[in-house]
């Protein structure tokens, strides 16, 4: 089946060197797909994820970051928690369901900024294939 597909593609493109991965990489992803890929990297920036937990950390837009975590508790009940970090002029506001909103500071602020820095460096390199400092495209591996 794969051979037939490859021959069909060779016939259509006129090229002997048909790369499936290359073809798929040329497709245009949606923003949701990109955020999903970024969140897979983001989920591992805060250390090991406990067994049975699923964690995502991702950038929604230039002023919003989200930490989402879900797990099954001791009683077998599905639990989720969502924390939103909003970037305001006067600080970064932490917003959680059912909790007070507050501007983070001290180590919490430093840790978040460090995580965001690593997120940026990793997604820029690993997903967008650019050098995070210069912005130049990385050479294909």
Among 12, 30, 74, 76, binds another protein (CB under 8 A): 30
- Binding status of residue 110 toward another protein by CB under 8 A: yes
**6-14, 48-56, 72-80, 100-108 -> range binding another protein (CB under 8 A):** 100-108
Cα angle: 31, vertex 29, 70; to 5 degrees: 50
Order of strands, edge to edge, in the sheet holding 78-88?
54-61, 64-72, 78-88, 91-96, 102-103
User: In whole angstroms, what is the distance from residue 134 CA to residue 47 CA?
Assistant: 28
User: In whole angstroms, what is the distance from residue 16 CA to residue 81 CA?
Assistant: 51
**3-11, 44-52, 76-84, 99-107 -> range binding another protein (CB under 8 A):** 99-107
Q: At what angle do helices 31-42 and 106-126 cross, to 10 degrees?
A: 120
- Binding status of residue 46 toward another protein by CB under 8 A: no
Binding positions for another protein, rule: CB under 8 A: 22, 25-31, 34-35, 38, 59, 61-65, 87-92, 103, 105-106, 109-110, 113-114, 116-117, 119-121, 123-124, 127-130, 132-135, 137, 140
């Amino acid at each position: 089946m794969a051979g037939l597909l490859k021959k069909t593609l060779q016939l259509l493109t006129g090229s002997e060197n048909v790369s499936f991965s290359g073809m798929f990489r040329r497709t245009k992803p949606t923003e949701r797909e990109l955020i999903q890929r970024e969140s897979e990297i983001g989920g591992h920036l805060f250390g090991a994820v406990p067994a049975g937990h699923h964690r995502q950390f991702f950038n929604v837009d230039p002023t919003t970051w989200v930490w989402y975590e879900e797990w099954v508790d001791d009683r077998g009940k599905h639990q989720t928690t969502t924390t939103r970090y909003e970037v305001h002029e006067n600080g970064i506001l932490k917003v959680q369901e059912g909790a007070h909103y507050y501007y983070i500071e001290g180590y919490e602020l430093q840790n978040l900024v460090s995580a965001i820095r690593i997120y940026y460096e990793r997604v820029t390199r690993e997903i967008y294939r650019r050098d995070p400092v210069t912005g130049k495209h990385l050479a294909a591996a």
